[in-house]
Structure 1
């Protein structure tokens, strides 16, 4: 019987993409925070921004900033063209990066799965936040739950083998 942490690499790339749809920088930040983890060894670790400590720090700071900015009333909807393309692109990047780990490189497959995941995660997250408004609870409650779920699930996807 498979362990609960055994998730096929393509599924992990797609799921990290979904999480990028929720918080565009969080999955990538979780990945770079685990840069030296042996199970994540892959070509992504040599990509220009990802190989440099300063680049990894910038990604982590961007993710932290996103957690704050998401709650501001002036933040545009994630489904507007710019934010949507950013989330799809982030999903593609994290999916491609993860796809370089394991047995062989499947960068293109990982990128496509991550991008599709990014689109799905964006639309699902928008629906959740819109539906949450009907409860009468403040939007910030749903935003914090989305933050916690994204961080927890990204950690699970990066830790899975």
Structure 2
């Protein structure tokens, strides 16, 4: 049986998890939680307390699910406002740092930078896509749901890759 995993360079994975954090801040962390016990994955991130604990992993998944709902609420602030933007940069940095520990315990140092930059890029790119989508006349919810699905699928692929 053929191996169904995909090879993606580690620096790209760290940056991409950051970009995906710009779309949905908690989804990359939730994917790390969901894939933590996958035997083909390695890295010091598996021993981080929140990811080592079943309760911590559940909290990350629930936070991601809550974000999928909250994103559609009218009171939710724009992702590029200072608070949400810093949050997305921060979760991107954490996700990038985590996946980069596959390269060794000190791998997080490059991963944190790539993830943070990716978080900023993903935040502005997502805003641009959602704003452009509004020009089509379709409801924003359509673009939000597409963004949800793409973020979940891409985060799963990036985390599961070799």
TM-score normalised to the size of structure 1? 0.94
Task: Return the alpha-carbon distance in structure 2 between the equivalents of residues 99 and 17 of structure 1.
Answer: 12
Q: Secondary structure of the residue that 1:40 maps to in structure 2? A: coil
| Alpha-carbon distance, 1:54 to partner | 0.6
Aligned to 1:26: 27
How many residue pairs were aligned?
A: 159
In structure 2, relative to structure 1, the CA distance for the partners of 1:149 and 1:137 (3 Å cut) is same
| Alpha-carbon distance, 1:40 to partner | 2.1
> Which consecutive unaligned segments of at least 5 residues does structure 2 have?
none
Task: Return the alpha-carbon distance in structure 2 between the equivalents of residues 95 and 112 of structure 1.
Answer: 8
Q: Secondary structure of the residue that 2:102 maps to in structure 1? A: coil
| Alpha-carbon distance, 1:43 to partner | 1.1
TM-score normalised to the size of structure 2? 0.94
Cα-to-partner distance string for 1:92-119 (whole Å, 9 max, x where unaligned) = 0000000111456411100000000000
Q: Secondary structure of the residue that 2:40 maps to in structure 1? A: helix
| Alpha-carbon distance, 1:49 to partner | 1.5
Aligned-CA RMSD value = 1.4
| Alpha-carbon distance, 1:41 to partner | 1.9
Task: Return the alpha-carbon distance in structure 2 between the equivalents of residues 42 and 148 of structure 1.
Answer: 27
Cα-to-partner distance string for 1:45-98 (whole Å, 9 max, x where unaligned) = 111212111111000000000000000011000000000000000000000000
Task: Return the alpha-carbon distance in structure 1 between the equivalents of residues 149 and 106 of structure 2.
Answer: 31
Cα-to-partner distance string for 1:111-156 (whole Å, 9 max, x where unaligned) = 0000000000000000001111111110000000000000111111
> Which consecutive unaligned segments of at least 5 residues does structure 1 have?
none
